[in-house]
Structure 1
Amino acid sequence: MSTPHVEHRHDNSHALGENATLREPISADGTPEIGKTYTVPARNGRAVRVKSGQTIRITNTHGTQVCDTWIFNADHLDEFLSFEHARASLDKVIPQAGDPLMTNHRRPIAEFVTDTSPGVHDTLMAACDLYRYKNLGVAGYHDNCADNMRMALKAIGLRAREVPQPFNLWMNIPIKPDYSIEWLAPVSKASDYVDIKALMDCVVVMSACPQDIIPINALNPLEVEFTVLA
């Protein structure tokens, strides 16, 4: 009896599909023009280098869009913002302005400096992926945040071996008294933004979440914007 072929992958860096994210980096290596505003198109991702001491401003252009956000140590992508570790350090489920954002090495990679929104974000949910959409009944390929992260890094010549838990900016997942959750639209308004200050050289990856099956983007994925400030 022949043995079925099983593909063995040494990491989780491979996208399961493709969109324009792979072909449209902000620059060849992700270095931004300081002060220039860039767009993360709806359903796509972008990666940007943010040096220690610089601040990235991420803007919810329309107020209804979730932005999955990852922060990697630019020198060693195996170190990254990890909310499994950050929640233990902060004793909070959602960080607030002034809080450090901790890595899987339990050290601060960035500071959450400013938040003009009501402060409702999510740190519990994994990035949407192809398997999530299959479970929701989608046939064929659906753009997803996990692949957007992989492609955004690949577009600037980088690769992360895993898809960490993202900082789901403006995602509204309330925990009810019985510990169940809901999937609701954001409570932010147009032009709300967050400022995140890098405490080491970073690569920040953002995905304008393509979720259009449940109402976390008000069923209408749209673009977000970002600017790296000196």
Structure 2
Amino acid sequence: MNAVDTIHSAALVRLPARRGVAVWLHRGQTLKLINTHGKQVVDTWAFNPDDLCEAMSMEHSRPFWLKLNPCKGDSLVTNKRRKILTLTQDTSPGVHDTLVAACDPTRYVQLGVVGHHDSCNENLFLALDALGLVAIETPSPLNLFMNVPIHPDGRIEFAAPVSEPGQYVCLTAEMDAIVVLSACPQDITAVNGREPRDVHYCIL
């Protein structure tokens, strides 16, 4: 039995590589996100469905934790400092990122890409649009499974993820929330091992 088969098939949804999706979570529901093939970063946002100006905020969450990255049991807070999601399970090595902005068209131009390239920023707005919603800006995402080492001299690095196939995280809603996931399309740097992959998720 493989990692995907361990979840009831009727509840499992595939998020294709390079694409995004927005899902509704009611307070108390849990989103289980499976790194099906390993090495795939998933940019993650959460919004108050009654006011999209209130969103999960990395710059507010870091001082709440007094550290750079969440661990099992840590709650993520909004720009109004309210708990919105809690990381309730994490079978990965716990290497995630809260510092780096979502990739966007300008980023790919700077990396030398000519023509259109899928981006997490675009995925965010397309996913919300599918629900008839519009965000006024792109909050900094929780970059699940993203490996951004911080060196002693303060430099950061885009390193290959350390997540393995089938490892997963669970995010439990502390309030009603719209959660947006983007299977990051970055294939220029080492972020996804240069090969974006599908992931799977389900609502528990």
TM-score, structure 2 normalization: 0.94
Equivalent in the alignment of 1:85: 60
**What SS class does the counterpart of residue 85 from structure 1 fall into?**
helix
Equivalent in the alignment of 1:168: 143
Alignment of 1:68-107 (within 5 A): 68-107=43-82
Distance 1:206 1:151 in 2: 11
Asked if residue 219 in structure 1 is aligned to residue 194 in structure 2, the reply is yes
Q: CA deviation at 1:75?
A: 1.3
Distance 1:205 1:49 in 2: 9
Q: Which runs of 5+ in 2 are unaligned?
A: 1-9
Q: What is the number of equivalent residue pairs in this alignment? A: 195
Q: CA deviation at 1:221?
A: 0.4
Q: Which runs of 5+ in 1 are unaligned?
A: 1-34
Equivalent in the alignment of 1:200: 175
Distance 1:125 1:68 in 2: 10
Q: CA deviation at 1:39?
A: 1.2
Alignment of 1:29-178 (within 5 A): 36-178=11-153
Distance 2:76 2:187 in 1: 29
Q: CA deviation at 1:224?
A: 0.9
Q: Which amino acid aligns with 2:168?
A: Y
Distance 1:127 1:138 in 2: 16
Q: CA deviation at 1:165?
A: 0.3
**What SS class does the counterpart of residue 68 from structure 2 fall into?**
coil
Equivalent in the alignment of 1:180: 155
TM-score, structure 1 normalization: 0.84
Aligned-pair identity (%): 52
**What SS class does the counterpart of residue 107 from structure 2 fall into?**
helix
RMSD (CA atoms): 0.8
Distance 2:23 2:11 in 1: 12
**What SS class does the counterpart of residue 40 from structure 2 fall into?**
coil
**What SS class does the counterpart of residue 159 from structure 1 fall into?**
coil
* CA deviation map 1:150-187 (0-9, x unaligned): 00000111111111000000000000001101111111
Distance 2:14 2:169 in 1: 15
**What SS class does the counterpart of residue 86 from structure 1 fall into?**
helix
**What SS class does the counterpart of residue 182 from structure 1 fall into?**
coil
Q: Which amino acid aligns with 1:46?
A: V
Deviant stretches of 4+, over 4 Å: none
* CA deviation map 1:43-94 (0-9, x unaligned): 1101100100100001101111000000111111111110100001110100
* CA deviation map 1:86-130 (0-9, x unaligned): 001110100000011110001111111110000000000000000
Distance 1:63 1:94 in 2: 20
Higher-Rg structure is 1
Distance 2:155 2:122 in 1: 28
